[in-house]
């Protein structure tokens, strides 16, 4: 299968701290990749470089054959690489529905549909329905319908996470990067959230990279694991094999090899 995303020789240092040392990873289309590693191992730096928030000191990132390394975050987003955040980034003074409407507005604007003078709301590209209906559809998919008129800042933690991911999905991304989608969520809610997200993503046909600390979640949802340690990828394998790898067990999972 061809790689949709190809990172080659990525290096990034913050002063004396090396956050990425020659990171290479080719991500296949429609795969679900789990990024694991302790805090500071370089997972979020990797995501931040892909989304253009950080520029690598060396190396390049290709998306569908195109070099996206020099692009700004919004241009990378427009190409179809969207992300969620470890701490949900919401429009907190707006309701859940209004959050969606802002996102759909951007989709229309980027498609050249300002709707400045048309009396009827134009159809949202990729959805084929007016914005209100498109918003209802996404909220339904992420189980957010009952919260539609609530302000984003008063939502429970798990719902905030879902809204953040829903915002990342508004633009129908082809690559979705989820930074710790289940952090700060109670243990009972974790699987439910991941089930819902993965169902939504599968329906849209996006490639997923997710950062995760919970190895059960990784084992269940990922079909490939990249294990980070000290700015390097120390394992790149299907989850069962990666989680058995002695280096991964030692540096990531925190279990010392027996005997």
Partner 1 sequence: MRPDRTPLVLGAVLAALVAAGPFLPQWALFILTLAFSRGLVALGLMLLLRAGLVSFGQALYYCLGAYAAGALGRFYGVSDIFVEMLAGGAVAALAGLVLGFLLARYRGIFFGLLSLALSMILYGVIVKNEALGSTDGFNVAESSLFGWRPGEDWLRYAVMAAAAAVSLAAALLVHRYLGTPLGRLAPAIKDNEIRVEYMGASARQAVHVKYVIAAALAGVGGALAATTVGHIDPDMAYWTTSGEFIFVTILAGTGNVAAPFAGALIYGAIYSTAYDLSPNTWQLSLGAALLALIVFLPEGLSSLLRRHARHS
Residues at the site binding partner 1, with contacts judged by CB under 8 A: 51, 72-75, 77-78, 82-83, 85, 89-94, 98, 101-103, 105-110, 113-117, 167-168, 170-171
Report, in Å, the least distance between residue 167 CB and partner 1: 7
CA distance 252 to 229: 7
CB nearer to partner 1: give 160 or 249: 160
CB nearer to partner 1: give 56 or 103: 103
Residue that is written with structure tokens 């309701």 in the block: 95
CB nearer to partner 1: give 14 or 117: 117
Are the CB atoms for 80 and 51 separated by under 8 Å? no
Are the CB atoms for 55 and 49 separated by under 8 Å? yes
CB nearer to partner 1: give 51 or 234: 51
Residue 59 exposure: Cα atoms within 13 Å on the Cβ side: 22
Report, in Å, the least distance between residue 121 CB and partner 1: 9
Report, in Å, the least distance between residue 79 CB and partner 1: 9
158-176 per-residue burial string, b: 16 or more CB within 10 A, e: under 16: bbbbbbbbbbbbbbbbbbb
Q: What residues pair up with 28 in beta bridges, in sequence order?
A: 3
216-253 per-residue burial string, b: 16 or more CB within 10 A, e: under 16: ebbbebbebbbbbbebbbbbbeebeebbebeebbebbb
Residues listed for the chain: 259
Angle at the Cα of 241 from the Cα atoms of 250 and 182, rounded to 5 degrees: 75
CB nearer to partner 1: give 127 or 251: 127
Report, in Å, the least distance between residue 243 CB and partner 1: 31
Report, in Å, the least distance between residue 87 CB and partner 1: 10
Report, in Å, the least distance between residue 207 CB and partner 1: 17
CB nearer to partner 1: give 48 or 207: 48
């Amino acid at each position: 299968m061809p790689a949709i995303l190809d990172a080659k020789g990525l290096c990034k240092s913050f002063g004396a701290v090396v956050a990425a040392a020659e990171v290479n990873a080719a991500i296949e289309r429609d795969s679900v990749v789990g990024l694991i590693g302790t805090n500071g191992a370089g997972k979020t730096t990797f995501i931040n470089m892909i989304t253009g928030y950080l520029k690598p000191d060396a190396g390049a990132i290709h998306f569908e054959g195109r070099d996206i390394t020099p692009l700004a975050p919004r241009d990378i987003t427009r190409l179809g690489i969207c992300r969620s955040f470890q701490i949900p980034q919401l429009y907190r003074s707006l309701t859940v529905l209004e959050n969606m409407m802002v996102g759909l507005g951007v989709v229309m604007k980027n498609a050249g549909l300002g709707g400045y003078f048309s009396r009827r709301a134009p159809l949202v590209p990729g959805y084929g329905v007016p914005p209100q209906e498109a918003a209802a559809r996404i909220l339904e998919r992420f189980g957010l319908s009952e919260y539609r008129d609530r302000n984003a800042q008063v939502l429970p933690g798990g719902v905030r996470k879902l809204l953040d991911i829903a915002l990342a999905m508004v633009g129908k991304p082809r690559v979705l990067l989820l930074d710790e989608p289940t952090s700060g969520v109670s243990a009972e809610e974790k699987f439910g959230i991941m089930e819902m997200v993965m169902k939504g993503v599968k329906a849209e046909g996006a490639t997923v990279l997710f950062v995760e600390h919970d190895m059960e979640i990784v084992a269940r949802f990922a079909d490939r694991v990249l294990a980070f340690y000290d700015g390097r990828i120390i394992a790149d394998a299907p989850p069962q094999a990666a989680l058995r790898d002695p280096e991964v067990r030692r540096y990531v999972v925190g279990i010392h090899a027996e005997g």
